[in-house]
Amino acid sequence: MNDSIQKKELQLTDERWQAIIHNDAAFDHQFLYGVRTTGIFCRPSCKSRPPKKENVRIFGSATQAIYETFRPCKRCKPNGAQIPTEEWVDQITQYIDKHYVNTITLEALSDQFHGSPYHLQRTFKRIKGVTPVEYVQRKRINAAKAYLLETNKSLDQIALAIGFSSTSYFVTLFKKMTKQTPTHFRRFYMSMPNIEDDKEDSLKLQYTRNKGS
């Protein structure tokens, strides 16, 4: 690592920790802090939920934080520049894609990605065409379709596997989004002939006819 950059990383003293948990703007030009679990760095005055102390790293500059692969907070803009909106939404989308089976709320996303719930939802919907919650539901229902067609799991098992604690809610949402119940969906598509098998049977029949002529 470049020595001039490395020297800018500071220690988390009690004074700096107090500045972080009390959002003390007086320290904004003295240090920045990053959160290991989110990969985001902020100003001490940032209004995001206080991180766990053991996950905090202290930096003397935005350059150091970025060098260490931390991303600037969308809310407090510690590097003086705003993250491109599309990139921010992509980060949120990637997070949902990896964690959709867990409980994801708008408030949790706003804490994770440092933006107000209102701004996050409005921006996400403008870019993706759906709200974050609707996107989570879509991911879960698509996963449910795969389970229904590719496994013999019961509806209770599938509901739990995709993040629903209530099977009845899962069935209701599935029907709302697909216009059919999970059971009907499974029966309908499992009863359909396999296109590839049909092609193979057709070729065999043609070969038999040609051989006999």
Instruction: Tell me the catalytic residues.
Output: 42
Written as one letter, the residue type at 153 is K
The sign of the dihedral angle between the CA atoms of 18, 22, 28, 34 is: positive
DSSP 90-140: HHHHHHHHHHTTS---HHHHHHHHTS-HHHHHHHHHHHHSS-HHHHHHHHH
Q: How buried is residue 15: exposed, middle or buried, by Cβ count under 10 Å (0-12/13-18/19+)?
A: exposed
Strand, coil or helix: what is 156? helix
What CA–CA distance (Å, rounded) separates 145 from 114?
33
What CA–CA distance (Å, rounded) separates 62 from 3?
16
For residue 34, the tally of other CB atoms under 10 A from its CB is 26
CB 101 within 8 A of CB 59: no
77: left (phi over 0), alpha (psi -120 to 50) or beta: left
